[in-house]
């Protein structure tokens, strides 16, 4: 009878892990399909990701973002970092890589200095007005980047997983560091009880290295709730239960509130030097940004380069500017479609404000500049009016030129910077270029 009861308890514990894996796999596939599909589905999936929430709330008030982020932090405080093992697509991708390469779990050090250092730098820079660390390390943004062709990042992630499994989650991710602090002092925690015989099965199967089987300790701060230990322990020595409130939890709540105000104050004090660093690290002079970017400085601060806008663009003109830079428009093959406002509807960080199609059609995002010596009319003495015909706002008109030929001229007041003229110009180098402006404006 005792045997059958023990077997039933083991099957019950294994069911937890199977359910977790099934939900994580389903959400991973759903997220990938929504991102690749673009549109509203991508925006909905992105809206529950904490990285973009932190960026949006650092620059503007969002009631929906505040509610969702509070709910996530509250759930993590209650039950631990389930988000990291169930709802984080980059976390699931690391698990998939580990399965493909059949990587055995190796010892992972508790890299507190790296974890806290990266987290502090990320949030101080964010409070100061530059999302550079989130652009590089936000798990959702980088997962979307991998789906859209960031091959170097996929190679780096494979190497990291092959070396130390989910080291990224335990020591690098700034979102994971915040969730970890909530879980460390949480209400329900995983613990190893006195029946443990130190076999090490749980420790060797932990992807974040948070278990020391000899000391019978489990670090809930680094634990991502994969539930491997709970399901594999043959004696049922790993339990998930409530922890009685003590002074450490009260101190954490007090210090947490103080840290939020401290970060805000520090960000305000560091705003000027952070902006100076942002200008040095992002040479965006002359770049044209997607519609809804508002002003140049604001867009550079908020954009995490998640590429959702690029995926949603039907003519594929939204490109990453550099490793540390935001996205930009590249008119080499097409201009920005006059009948489309898809990109600004999917931005999760608030870098692109939402616009109606009508408002987008009257938004000036750049300005065409005509270089007459390069024009076919002057250089080859042949008639050409392709740019004038392509302009949706009739900002380019044909004026009398030499030898009785008409030559294009640009009315800067009517130009919205859509790039249709640049894309259709047959000359190389182009006779007409589009330069970015500091502040996008409505006519």
Going from N- to C-terminal start, the domains of the chain cover 2-247, 296-442
DSSP state of 187: S
pLDDT of residue 223 exceeding 90, the answer is yes
pLDDT of residue 339 exceeding 80, the answer is yes
Count of helices and strands (H, E) across the chain: 21, 10
Reduced to 3 states (helix: H, G, I; strand: E, B; else coil), residue 322 is: coil
pLDDT in tens, 289-306: 999 998 887 888 888 888
pLDDT in tens, 383-434: 999 999 999 999 999 988 777 789 999 999 999 999 999 999 999 999 999 9
pLDDT the model gives residue 43: 82
Q: How many CA atoms lie less than 13 Å away from 147 in the CB half-sphere?
A: 26
pLDDT of residue 318 exceeding 70, the answer is yes
pLDDT the model gives residue 278: 56
pLDDT the model gives residue 157: 92
pLDDT band at 98 (very low <50, low <70, confident <90, very high): confident
Q: What is the mean pLDDT of the chain?
A: 84
Q: What is the C-alpha separation between 46 and 349, in angstroms, rounded?
A: 9
pLDDT of residue 76 exceeding 70, the answer is yes
More confident residue, 213 or 278: 213
pLDDT the model gives residue 2: 44
Which residue in 115, 135, 131 sits closest to 277, CA to CA?
Answer: 131
DSSP state of 335: P
Q: How many CB atoms lie within 10 A of CB 117?
A: 13
pLDDT of residue 269 exceeding 60, the answer is no
CA 44 to chain centre: 14
Beta bridge partners of 432: 370
Q: What is the C-alpha separation between 165 and 98, in angstroms, rounded?
A: 7
For the stretch 408-412, contacts whose Cβ atoms lie closer than 8 Å and that sit 24 or more positions apart, written own/partner, are 408/370, 408/375, 408/377, 408/384, 408/432, 409/370, 410/368, 410/369, 410/370, 412/367, 412/368
- Give the orientation angle of helix 174-184 with respect to helix 63-79, to 10 degrees: 50
Q: Which three-class secondary structure string do you get for 34-51?
A: HHHHCHHHHHHHHHCCHH
Q: How many CB atoms lie within 10 A of CB 144?
A: 29
pLDDT of residue 259 exceeding 80, the answer is no
Q: What is the C-alpha separation between 306 and 284, in angstroms, rounded?
A: 18
Show the tokens assigned to 369: 């500049």
Beta bridge partners of 410: 396
pLDDT in tens, 5-59: 444 455 556 788 888 899 999 999 999 998 888 777 888 888 889 988 888 887 7
pLDDT the model gives residue 282: 59
In this structure, CATH architecture of domain 296-442: 2-Layer Sandwich (3.30)
Q: What is the C-alpha separation between 377 and 359, in angstroms, rounded?
A: 35
* Angle (CA) 29 35 38, round 5°: 135
Q: What is the C-alpha separation between 348 and 55, in angstroms, rounded?
A: 9
Q: What is the C-alpha separation between 404 and 94, in angstroms, rounded?
A: 66
pLDDT, mean of residues 131-140: 88
pLDDT in tens, 224-256: 999 888 888 888 889 888 776 665 655 655 555
Show the tokens assigned to 347: 């931005």
pLDDT of residue 271 exceeding 60, the answer is no
pLDDT of residue 267 exceeding 90, the answer is no
Which residue in 424, 432, 418 sits closest to 363, CA to CA?
Answer: 418
pLDDT band at 1 (very low <50, low <70, confident <90, very high): very low
Percent pLDDT > 90 in the chain is 39
pLDDT in tens, 193-204: 989 998 888 888
């Amino acid at each position: 009878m005792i045997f059958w009861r023990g077997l039933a308890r083991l099957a019950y514990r294994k069911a937890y892990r199977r359910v977790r894996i099934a939900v994580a796999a389903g959400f991973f596939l759903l997220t990938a399909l929504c991102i690749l599909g673009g549109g509203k589905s991508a925006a909905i999936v992105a809206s529950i990701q904490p990285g973009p929430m932190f960026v949006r709330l650092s620059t503007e008030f969002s009631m929906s973002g505040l509610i969702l982020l509070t709910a996530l932090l509250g759930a993590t405080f209650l039950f631990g970092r389930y988000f990291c093992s169930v709802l984080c697509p980059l976390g699931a991708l690391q698990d998939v890589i580990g399965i493909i390469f059949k990587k055995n779990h190796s010892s992972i050090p508790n890299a507190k200095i790296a974890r806290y250092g990266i987290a502090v730098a990320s949030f101080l820079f964010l409070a100061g007005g530059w999302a550079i660390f989130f652009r590089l390390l936000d798990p959702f943004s980088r997962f979307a980047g991998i789906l859209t062709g960031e091959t170097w990042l996929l190679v780096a992630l494979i190497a990291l997983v092959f070396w130390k499994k989910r080291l990224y989650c335990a020591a690098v991710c700034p979102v994971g560091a915040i969730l970890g602090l909530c879980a460390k002092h949480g209400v329900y925690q995983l613990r190893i009880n006195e029946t443990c015989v130190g076999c090490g099965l749980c420790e060797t199967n932990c992807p974040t290295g948070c278990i020391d089987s000899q000391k019978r300790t489990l670090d809930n701060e680094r634990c991502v709730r994969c539930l491997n230990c709970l399901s594999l322990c043959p004696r049922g020595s790993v339990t998930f239960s409530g922890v009685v409130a003590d002074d450490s939890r009260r101190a954490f709540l007090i210090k947490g509130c103080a840290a939020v105000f401290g970060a805000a104050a520090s960000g305000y004090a560091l705003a000027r030097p952070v902006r100076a660093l942002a200008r040095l690290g992002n040479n965006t002079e002359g770049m044209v940004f997607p519609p809804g970017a508002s002003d140049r400085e604001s867009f550079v601060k908020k954009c995490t380069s998640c590429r959702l806008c690029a995926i949603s663009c039907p003519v594929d003109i939204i490109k990453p500017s550099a490793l540390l830079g935001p996205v930009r428009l590249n008119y080499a093959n097409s201009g920005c479609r006059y009948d489309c406002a898809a990109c600004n509807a999917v931005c999760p960080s608030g870098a692109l404000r939402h616009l109606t199609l009508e408002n987008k059609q009257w938004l000036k995002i750049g300005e065409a500049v005509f270089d007459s010596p390069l024009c076919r009319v002057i250089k080859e003495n042949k008639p050409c009016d392709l740019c004038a015909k392509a302009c949706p706002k009739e900002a380019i008109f044909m004026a009398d030129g030499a030898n009785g030929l008409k030559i294009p001229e640009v009315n800067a007041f009517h130009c919205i910077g859509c790039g249709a003229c640049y894309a259709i110009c047959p000359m190389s180098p182009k006779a007409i270029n589009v330069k970015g402006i500091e502040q996008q404006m409505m006519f």
